[in-house]
Amino acid sequence: MHPHFRTLLNEMPDIYDSIWRWDCVLYDSLIVDLLPEVDTPTSNHMMSGLRQYTRSLPQFLQQLLKDYPQALRQKKCDVANIFVAKIRRQLTLNQFAIATGKILGRPDLLGAMKTDWEQLDVGIVLDHVLWVCDCRNNDMRQILEKDLVRLLTVGTTLDQWMKWEEQLLDKFVPATPKIRDIQDIEKYLAMAKQFVLKWKTYTGLIMQHFYMKNIGSIGKWKKEKRKR
């Protein structure tokens, strides 16, 4: 690094935060451009290339910035690691979304899933989850016994599923909270994390139930996903 820039960084440490913010903008723009929608069509070549890129980026930056100030190197590597986690998550969601979209276009698979879902013992699931979650039984019965059965009606699209999930988020996690300070941000993040935790808890128990019952539609879904 040119001595002039080192002096500038020493005299104006706020530049580090500016660099961090602009790196965030750059990486977020890449994600939006590469994967604008959760079900954006992607080739196997693109998926493979992006996964390779995310594996090598952190190490590449460490080597590239080895002669730069430690504080700057740390800032740029931290935001790169955040980007890597984000895009890996988006790639996984993309893979599942495309596979799910194909299944939703298959009336035979969708009908089998609906039949299997109607055999789910919702009462057992609610009893088990009661020990770890404080969700209202009426809300969960509406979701498990009515909403999902309706969504599994033949002809339902991926967009309809995503809109339903957005409605759940709006109901259980405020969409536009009044954020005034760091405490408000932490409160909102805690609510969002609780929603994800509870969602995964219910999903895990339901999948466990299906596997124990050797539900056939699960195997068909996994087979369709492997075609991706």
3-state secondary structure of 192: helix
> What pLDDT, on the 0 to 100 scale, is given for residue 215?
73
> What pLDDT, on the 0 to 100 scale, is given for residue 220?
66
> What pLDDT, on the 0 to 100 scale, is given for residue 34?
93
> What pLDDT, on the 0 to 100 scale, is given for residue 30?
94
Burial of 126 (0-12, 13-18, 19+ CB in 10 A): middle
> What pLDDT, on the 0 to 100 scale, is given for residue 81?
94
All residues at 6 or more sequence positions from 72 whose CB lies less than 8 Å from its CB, including other chains: 9, 16, 19, 65
CA distance 62 to 59: 5
Whether 171 and 143 have beta carbons less than 8 Å apart is answered as no
Helices (H), the chain: 3-11, 14-34, 44-64, 70-104, 107-117, 122-129, 137-141, 148-151, 158-172, 182-212, 216-226
All residues at 6 or more sequence positions from 149 whose CB lies less than 8 Å from its CB, including other chains: 114, 117, 118
> What pLDDT, on the 0 to 100 scale, is given for residue 14?
79
> What pLDDT, on the 0 to 100 scale, is given for residue 48?
92
> What pLDDT, on the 0 to 100 scale, is given for residue 116?
87
Whether 97 and 209 have beta carbons less than 8 Å apart is answered as no
> What pLDDT, on the 0 to 100 scale, is given for residue 223?
66
> What pLDDT, on the 0 to 100 scale, is given for residue 90?
94
pTM: 0.75
CA distance 228 to 101: 11
> What pLDDT, on the 0 to 100 scale, is given for residue 31?
94
pLDDT (tens place) for every residue of the chain, 228 residues total: 566 666 666 667 778 788 888 999 999 999 999 999 988 998 989 999 999 999 999 899 989 888 888 888 888 999 999 999 999 999 999 988 888 888 888 888 888 888 888 888 888 888 888 878 888 888 999 999 999 988 888 667 888 888 898 889 888 887 655 656 666 777 888 888 888 999 999 988 888 888 887 777 776 666 665 665
Whether 124 and 209 have beta carbons less than 8 Å apart is answered as yes
